[in-house]
Structures are given as C-alpha cells and as structure tokens.
Amino acid sequence: MTTRKVLRCGTVFPGCNFVSHGETDAEVLAKIAEHAKNAHEMAHISSALRTRMMAQMESEGGEKGKH
C-alpha cells in the first residue's frame, strides 16, 4: 500500500487553504508549484522554499517530514 503525501499551502503561506495531495513528493510539489504560480504569483520555487515545503509535507496519516 502506498502512503499518499499531503502539503497544506497555509504551512508555507499563512492564510492559504489550498491542500495538495499526491502519491509522491514530486507530484505534490508539482501541484503546489502550479498553485503558487497562480494564487501567489510566484514564477519560481526557490530551493529554500522547496526545503520548507518538504519539511511541512506529511503522510496522509499526519507525520511531517517523512518521505
């Protein structure tokens, strides 16, 4: 059984309610990058921001940073 991944945008952009779900870290990050581009007018995700996002990513069971 594959553990799905979850990233809540509000953990990086306070006040945002968007939630990205996916089977892999890459899938979740691609979805959140597209959201950040459209909702937060971010053309690029820096490596520092990507690191923050990875630290906030959870398994659907709720454990952060376990990828």
Q: What pLDDT does residue 54 have?
A: 94
Residues in the chain: 67
Distance in angstroms (rounded) separating the CA atoms of residues 27 and 14: 22
Q: How many CB atoms lie within 10 A of CB 25?
A: 14
DSSP helix/strand/coil, 5: strand
Mean pLDDT of 46-51: 94
Q: What pLDDT does residue 51 have?
A: 95
Q: Which residue ranges make up each domain of the chain?
A: 5-59
Percent of the chain at pLDDT above 70? 87
Distance in angstroms (rounded) separating the CA atoms of residues 1 and 53: 24
